[in-house]
Amino acid sequence: MVKEIQKIMEDFHVKDANMTADERNIVTLSGVCDSWQTLIDVGHAVAKVDGVKNVVSDMEVEGLTIPKKNYEPYIKKGKEIGVIDRADVVIIGAGVSGCGIARELSRYNLKIIVVEMGDDVAYAASKANNGDIHAGHAAKSGTLKAKLNVEGNRMYTQWSEELGFRLERCGSLQMVTEDRLVPSVEKTYETALKNGVDGARMVTQEEAIQIEPRVEAELKRMGKELKAALWLPSMGVVEPYEVVVALAENAAKNGVQFLFDCTVGDVLHEDGQVKGVVTEKGIIEADFVINCAGVYADEMSWMAGDRSYTIHPRKGTIAIIDKTCPPLFSVLGGITTHEPTMKKNVESKGGGMCFTPEHNILLGPSATEVPDKEDVDTTPEDLAYAMSRNSNEQIGIGNIIRIFAGTRPADFKEDFIIEMSPITHGFMNVGAIQSPGLASAPAVAKMAIGILLDDMEKNGKRPEEKPDYDPIQPPKLDFRHMTHEEQDALIKKDPRYGKIICRCEQITEGEILDAVHSLVVPTSIDAIKRRTRAGMGRCQGGFCQPRVLELLARELGEDWVNITLKGRGSNVLICPNRENAEEGGSRS
């Protein structure tokens, strides 16, 4: 193994190359690479060597300063404040993994605290994805990722029924019209069978038309016939932030506490046992710490004394298309007539053309390796990649209403890491949860909790289930989807539902107030957007943002200048300039 790794580093011309391996076969690499992509390629190549459990990178890049987060201010502040609480379990991160685990764990008699560095749930990767509930056909066979993808997909129906979020089981129909494209469809089908994807089957053109009647007209328009088609009926779509908000609110309903703007600066451990976390809001003592910190999961693990993997952020950019350009089909997938003009990252699924439950078309995501974990800037190159996934010739750049990006927490093994640390007992890694992490989330939570409960039981501390645990979270009120009769009745009951705040999406004042007064309180404009869709339409908040700001300030008892777009450092207003603003004027 050592000679093979040394040969890899030599082939990639890594200067001052060095490697070490511990008793777990965690390989730590150091040296200087000529580019960031070379560093990534070296890590992947070493991770594929037989016997290597995972890779820690201490490598550098010539001429590049790799950004590193400074935790000292958070540690200093937290220690000055001192101990603020004690919990049975602290969960780091309020994304879909953290909130999923918190909700499922809230059925037990445990004190659970979720700490999140952002101002809201779904602050990072959990909001910045396309919402696909993947069937499991694109995950590498034999990986934990593939196993949990298929299991999680099956569990989503129960989650959606209990938690009241929208799940559209639209299925995916992958169709090709050229012989040279048939092998790729057949390969996907073979992977689907190996992974146990429910209902996956190759279908004829006639069967494809029965599944999606609009295929017939589109083929006629194109003057083509199908050469192959793969039907994946379990594929679905959700609004990812709806899922996370529902999980968090149900967790809170069952006693889980959330702390936002609460960065973890250190993980306390002593004699091989976790003791708690130091946060910027103080120290929280705990028997168990579950690490769901996304792109920072490796750093949390290192704080706990377990250097076992490195997260290298992979940025994905997605373009959102206006609703005036509806999807061609009611299923995901589509008709492919040629190879995409831009090649995909070999470690990603490649992105594509899909749609949301609201039927906005999404193009992308791209998959660009970046050194900065907080790099969510969009670039012309990433936008070009997203647009290259467009299979509808009626859609162009002019139909885009927003472009956004997020970073996936990839490790060099390109698989999920879910395990109790063998180095620091009580510290559990739930790391490297990249795509299909959203689809896998129910199974990720089940596996993590199983590990935790087994550990507790071995130590005679298995908790009892709560007799009053309530898994049900009522669906959110959607004024725009009501009949006129239902709307009239609601307005008579509460006139605030008759005041439209967001014209594009038809979101009312009543819906925004419902969100503000929910169990997990949104305090920023973007947090309101994720809960209500106010600001998600064509004008992207151009009309409604000032009204949302005003409502937030009023309901939270804050001055207008304290309301932010997306958490600290993003204040919308600088200072008051009109004395009568709060009496009906305006501030800027």
Q: Each residue of 379-390: pLDDT tens digit? A: 999 999 999 999
Mean pLDDT within 256-264: 98
Handedness of CA 198, 199, 202, 208 (dihedral sign): negative
Region 263-283: mean pLDDT is 98
Whether residue 543 contacts residue 503, with contact meaning beta carbons closer than 8 Å, is answered with yes
Q: How far apart are CA 290 and CA 239, in angstroms?
A: 25
Which is it for strands 228-232 and 172-176: parallel, antiparallel or unpaired? antiparallel
Quickly state the pLDDT bin for 342 (edges 50, 70, 90): low
Q: Does position 102 have pLDDT exceeding 50, yes or no?
A: yes
- What integer pLDDT is reported at residue 339 of this predicted model? 74
Kindly tell me if the per-residue pLDDT of 425 is higher than 70. Answer: yes
Per DSSP, the three-state class of 172 is strand
- Cis preceding-peptide flag for 436 (omega within 30 of 0): yes
Categorize the per-residue pLDDT at 528 as very low, low, confident or very high, splitting at 50, 70 and 90. Answer: very high
What is the number of other CB atoms lying within 10 angstroms of the CB of residue 540? 15
Chain position carrying tokens 């620091």: 424
% of the chain surpassing 70 pLDDT: 97
pLDDT of residue 343 exceeding 80, the answer is no
| Percentage of the chain lying above the pLDDT 90 cut | 93
Helix (H, G, I), strand (E, B) or coil at 555: helix
Q: How far is CA 196 from the centre of its chain?
A: 24
Catalytic residue among 134, 137, 269, 312: 134
Q: CA–CA distance from 264 to each of 89, 92, 116, 191, 357 (Å)?
A: 15, 8, 8, 40, 35
Closest CA to 248 of 167, 127, 155, 129: 127
134 is catalytic: yes
Cα–Cα distance for residue pair 487/508, rounded to 1 Å: 11
580 has pLDDT over 70: no
Please tell me whether residue 130 adopts helix, strand or coil conformation.
coil
pLDDT score recorded for residue 347: 76
Q: Tell me how far the alpha carbon of residue 261 is from its chain's centroid.
A: 18
Confidence of residue 232 (pLDDT cuts 50, 70, 90): very high
Helix or strand run (H / E) with residue 206:
helix 205-211
Q: Provide the pLDDT for residue 576.
A: 81
Residue 240's identity, in one-letter code, is P
Q: What are phi and psi of 518, to 5 degrees?
A: -85, 175
| pLDDT per residue as tens digits for the range 482-498 | 999 999 999 999 999 99
